[in-house]
Every structure is written in C-alpha cells, then in structure tokens.
Structure 1
Amino acid sequence: MDAMDIEPQAGKGKAAGDDKDILPWVEKYRPTTLDDVAGHEGIIATIRKFISSNRLPHLLFYGPPGTGKTSTILAVARELYGTNYRNMVLELNASDDRGIDVVRDQIKTFASTRQMFMDGFKLVVLDEADAMTNAAQNALRRIMERYTTHTRFCILANYTHKLTPAILSRCTRFRFSPIATEAIRGRVDHVIEAEGVRISRPALDALLDLAKGDMRRALNVLQACHTAAPDGTEISDRDVFECVGNPDPADIKTLLDSIMTDEWGTAVRTVSRIKQGKGLALADILASLAEEIERIEVRPATRIAWLDGLADVEYRLGSGGSEVLQTSAMISVIKSGLELEG
C-alpha cells in the first residue's frame, strides 16, 4: 500500500513559540490571498475584475458550510487594504450579534464614518447573516443604501431564503458550491507536507470522500486523525472512518450481503454484531447503505423500492421510533425489494 511519508519541513508551522502552532489547522492554513483560495475560479476572476476597476458592489456569498465564503472575503479585504486591514474592515458574526441594536449601533457607527488619511471605501462583513432577525435586516437595508458611497457590505449566508428580498436586491450574488475533490486534495496535500503527516493513500481518498466538498471538515478530520495517531504511525482508512464515526464500507458490504443472502435470523444477528462491535447508530448505517445501493446493478424498480423504504425507516427513526424495530424494518425493506428482481 502506497503511503505519503512526508518529513516535517523547517519553517513551515514548526518553529518554537510560533503562535500559529496552537491554532486549529482550518485557521492556521486559512487562505490569505485570493490565489490561495481553493476552487471557485470563476468567482475569484469576477471579484478580481471588480477590485481592479475599483467598482466593488455589495456582495452576497451563499452556499454550504466549509466552501470558502469567509476565506474569500477576508482574502479580498487583505488585498484591498494590506496592512490597514483592521482599520477598514468590520467583521461580525450575525449568529451572535443579530439584533437590531447591533445594526443601529456598531454597524451604523462604522459605516457612517470615514477613515482619516485613507481613500476608498470601508468593508462590513456579516457572517451567517441568515440568522439575523427581520427587524435587523430591515434596518440594515437602509444603512446599505445610505452609506454606499464610502462603505461596502458583504453578506455571508448558508441559505438565501432566510434573507429579505430588500437585502437580496442590493447585493451581487455568488453561490459557493461544494468544493471539487481535486481542489480539496491540493490544499490537503499542502497541509500534509507542512505538518509532516503520515497518511496512506486509501486513507486520503476516504478523507476526501467523507468531506463531500467541505474543506473545513476535511482539515478537521485530518488534524483529529493526526493527533490521535501514535508518533510515527501511518493513518489508515480505518482510522479515518473511526474518527468521523462513519461506517467502514467493508462493514456495509458485509451487512448488505448478509441481508440479501442469509435467512432472517442470521441477517438480524449480523446487523446487530456490526452495530455493537463498531458502535454505530442505525442512522449512520442507513446513510451508508443508501450509497452502497447506488453501486449495485439492479432493476430500477428494485432500487426505487429500496430507497423509498429506507427513507420511511429514517423518517420513523428521526420521529422517535424504536431503533430495534427500525433495524428489522430496514432488513424487511431490502428483502422485500429483492422479490421485484424475480
């Protein structure tokens, strides 16, 4: 099995007394320039044109967590202001500061004043703005309109439907979709080299697959696995699955084979053994089982019956149903679907 055995390099996050050593890797390796931002080349190119022409509009970055929204706007701010970054940018997390008082006091005060001896506009970054109350959003709308000559706003949100139409209409929207696997791989490889992580290639592939386009998740899992591994030990794919609490694909295949081929009692015992031995919840098994079903060559009617039945099991489980009963229901769904194969 190939391994990526990289020795720590001097000067890359290993200096004694370096404050960065105590940071989580998602912060330690957060991009500082637009060139460092992984993926989203089209968005970066458009923003560069705005910056070069000095016509940056109000911005709305939206999309799933871990896709680079905050990193992108902070890189834009550093590119715009350089060493004067702290004086020209007001950064607020709206999930903490989301009331109308914050808008009227902090944001209005910052937006209404000009910075002495500095040309250009200031920047207000509102992270997780979809958590703001409607009253706060309505107050923000007027501030954006009134002080637009010397202040720009960047709204960051996971869901646009939680923002008022008035806010949406005042911003140029950019959707940050899940990051491509190869883009995440490039950034993770950089961290692996910088931190001297020993990780097998199957483990790296498993890490990227579990990240599902979320850079933050990939780096957090990598750091957790590296911290948990004994010194000099290579991280395996099993370590990655155990760290995330995700079922091992080999266990899911064993479970599915038993349900499809063994009689009922044996199948129940196999599922129970895997659940107890690996400490898995039925909800985790259902999600992995649905992915495994997508890889099996069966008739469309069988696949539809399986997915529809598993969705019902997941719904009942989430509504407080007994895990023991729903485990039997899961086995019943798979066996009943096989009857459609004839």
Structure 2
Amino acid sequence: MDIDVEVTPLAFATGAKGKGKLSDAVGDLESLPWVEKYRPTSLDELVSQSDIVDTLQRFIDDGKLPHLLFYGPPGTGKTTTVLAIARKLYGKNLGSMVLELNASDDRGIDVIRDQIKTFASTRTVFSSGLKLVILDEADAMTTPAQSALRRVIEKYTKNVRFCIICNYVSKIIPAVQSRCTRFRFAPLKLTDINGRLDLIVEREGVNISAEGKSALIRLSSGDMRRVLNVLQACHAAYPSIDSGEVYACTGQPSPDDIKRVADWMLNDEFHVALSNIAALKLTPYVNVIDFPASTRVYLLEQLAEIEYHMSVGSTEKIQLSALVGAFKIGVEMASA
C-alpha cells in the first residue's frame, strides 16, 4: 500500500503524563536530558496532530497496521511516534516484540541477513501478534541492504511490520517505498513549540525573558529537539536567559551584528566594509584585554593549540583545564 499523507509533526506531551518514562529501562527521571524527560510515551500524549494520530489509531484498532515510512527533518516526532505505537501494541512485552536498529550504524547487508531476518523469522513463546522492526535513519543504508530489506519485508509480512524512519525519502529505493504507507513530518509550527516551551520553562524553573524565548524559537527551525537541548544548555550556563545568551550558546551571530554588517555593506566604501566585517569576524575577545604584547601572543598560541586539540577529538574536560591554566599563566606573565 502506498499512501502519501502529509502531516505536521507531533508536539511534545502536556500534563503529568508528559513526565513519564521513555521505557521500563529508564532510571531516575530527573537525570534524563530534557528531550527524553518530556518525550511522550503514548499516542494519547501526542497533541495537536489529530490527523496522524487518528490514522494510526484506526490502523491499530482495525488490526491492519501496514508497513510504515516516516520521513522529514530531524526533531519533528518520527521516532517518538513509532515508540508510542510500540508501547500501545505490546505493553510489557515490548522487549521481545520490537527490534530497534539505528541504520546509520548497522547499515550493511549483513544486518539484514542476520539480525532482522533472524528476528522476523522466529516466533515468541508467550506472545502472539505482529512483531515490529524499527529502522531509524534508514536513509544511511546501502543500496544492496535496502534491496535485501525489500525481500525480507515481502517474505515475513504475515508476522512482522516494519517502520522505516529517515530524513530524506529520496534515498530510500522505490521498491521499499512502494511497500510502505508514507507519512511526511513537517517542521513544527512555532505556536506548538511555544506551548511546549512554556510548559517546560514552568516545570524546570527556567528564568528566560520573552526576547530569549523568541530567539530560541526562531533559531529552532521547527526542531523541538534543538529547542530543548539549547534551553537546557542555557539554563545550566546562565542564571537568566536573554536573547544574547541564546545566540552565544548556539554560536549564531546576533541580529545586531547582522544589522551592522548589512549597514556597512550598503553605506560604506568597499575596503572599509571589508575591513570592518573581517575585524568583527576574526578578532577574538582576548585582543581587547589590556595585556602586554608578549602575554597576548602567548594566549593566542595557547588558544590555537586548544582549538586544534578539540578539532581532533581531545577530551573537553582536559582542554577546559588547559584553557584556565593558560589564562592563569598569562596573568602571572602580565604581572611579572
């Protein structure tokens, strides 16, 4: 069956249920990242997207769940939706009835021949009904693996359903697409993000201004996961959050800087605009500190070394210690 249903994505949960566990294996709720802490755990908690919820609920109630293909940008509710379906279908038997794989890691033909085929061809002793195979980031699978998957889907349709999740449906071969019911997840509406953001800000006691909230929503590009990650990072780093803190945390240029650049390009001479933009882009903060030239040179060398070590995968904790140590040495050099 091949039905294209375009829906906007699922927002995060409201009410007390929104703080439920992701799975039975989840430990202390307070230690979870907010993206998991506030992830919906059932179809009832998926709000403001009645079309997709009603369609999937009807499939489940009729016992006619098809193979599913969820595609769209990151952070729009694809994985959350299929996990909610799995919990509704299997309850406490979730572990034995569901195989969840990240296809970006297990993307070769061997995983189709071994793990998926073995899971699909065996039956459980204490449970009945359809099994579910979840393939996340399936657009990273090789073409031979997808061709093998097509055959497995065909062969084991009687007792297994597949849910294929990807960002780019064009990277899924037509033979696999044609065997699935397709749902496109669009970026979240800003009104939906704002509602969930207000809920989480209240529950977590986040001190964020209206300007900070607007900047956070504007930078999210409809990605709820990004909203929560940035919000949690800002909350950990700053006692109060304004737009400046949001831009600093994400590494994005502030609107004031963009306005200045546009003004230079429109009104100043070419060489003046070029030098101003280069200065704004390249001059590090250390250059405006009142240090002797030798101390400034030392600090810039150390910062370059730290940036290089971070780029090749060095431990952040060690490099943070190196950064603090470099400035302490610089202060001693300046006062000598």
TM-score by shorter chain over 0.5:
yes
In the other structure, the counterpart of 1:100 is: 109
- Once the two structures are superposed, the pairs formed by residues 169-188 of structure 1 within 5 Å of their partners are 169-188=178-197
1:237 equivalent in structure 2: 243
Q: Name the SS for the 1:174 alignment partner.
A: strand
Contact 1:38-1:187 within 8 A present in 2 as well: no
Relative to structure 1, the CA distance from residue 223 to residue 164 in structure 2 (aligned partners, 3 Å threshold; closer, same or farther) is same
Q: In the alignment, which of 78, 84, 108 is matched to residue 75 of structure 1? A: 84
Distance 1:58 1:265 in 2: 60
- Cα offsets for 1:77-127 (capped at 9, x unmatched): 111111221121110000111111111111111111222232321100000
Distance 2:217 2:172 in 1: 32
After superposition, what is the alpha-carbon deviation per residue over 1:15-43, rounded to whole angstroms, capped at 9, x for unaligned? xxx62333221122221112333554322
- Structure 1 residue 188: Cα displacement: 1.9
| Match runs of 1:1-342 below 5 Å | 19-37=28-46, 40-229=49-238, 233-276=239-282
In structure 2, what is the equivalent of residue 289 of structure 1?
Answer: none
CA distance in 2, matches of 1:278, 1:63: 38
Deviation beyond 4 Å, 4+ runs, structure 1: none
TM-aligned CA deviation for residue 269 of structure 1: 3.6
Q: Specify the alignment match of 1:325 in structure 2.
A: none
How many residue pairs match? The answer is: 262
Name stretches of at least 5 consecutive residues in structure 1 with no aligned partner.
1-8, 280-342
CA contact 2:41–2:87 (8 Å) conserved in 1:
yes
1: CA distance between counterparts of 2:36 and 2:82? 15
Cα deviation code 1:296-320 (max 9, x no counterpart): xxxxxxxxxxxxxxxxxxxxxxxxx
- Any conservation in 2 of the 1:38–1:179 contact (CA below 8 Å)? no
Equivalent-residue separation in structure 1 for 2:226 and 2:46 (angstroms): 16
Counterpart position of 2:329: none
SS across alignment from 2:208: strand
Structure 2 stretches of 5 or more lacking a match?
A: 1-15, 21-26, 286-336
What TM-score comes out, normalization by structure 2 length? 0.74
Identity of aligned pairs, percent?
Answer: 57
Could you say if the C-alpha distance between residues 209 and 35 of structure 1 is closer, same or farther in structure 2, counting changes exceeding 3 Å? farther
* Cα distance in 2, alignment partners of residues 103 and 153 from structure 1: 12
Cα separation, 2, equivalents of 1:271 and 1:38: 45
In 2, the alpha carbon distance for the partners of 1:34 and 1:68 equals 12
Q: 1:277 Cα deviation (Å)?
A: 5.3
Distance in 1 separating the partners of 2:226 and 2:47: 14
Structure 1 residues 37 and 268 mapped into 2: Cα distance closer, same or farther (>3 Å)?
same
1:258, distance to aligned residue in structure 2 (A): 2.3
Equivalent position amino acid for 1:96 in 2: D
8 Å CA contact 1:203, 1:235 repeated in 2 = yes
Whole-angstrom CA distance in 2 between matches of 1:109 and 1:261? 68
Report the CA distance between 1:278 and its aligned residue: 7.4
Aligned position for 2:302: none
Alignment RMSD: 2.0
Q: Distance in 2 between matches of 1:147 and 1:115?
A: 15
CA deviations 1:53-87 (Å, max 9, x no partner) are 11100000011111111011001111111122112
Q: Is the 8 A contact 1:90 1:124 kept in 2?
A: yes
Contact 1:130 1:159 in 2 (8 A): yes
With over 3 angstroms needed to count, the CA separation of the structure-2 counterparts of 1:80 and 1:237, relative to structure 1, is: same
Q: What is the one-letter code of the residue matched to 2:146?
A: Q
Determine if contact 1:37/1:68 at 8 Å carries over to the other structure.
no
Could you say what secondary structure the match of 2:165 adopts?
A: strand
2:93·2:127 contact (CA, 8 Å) conserved in 1?
A: no
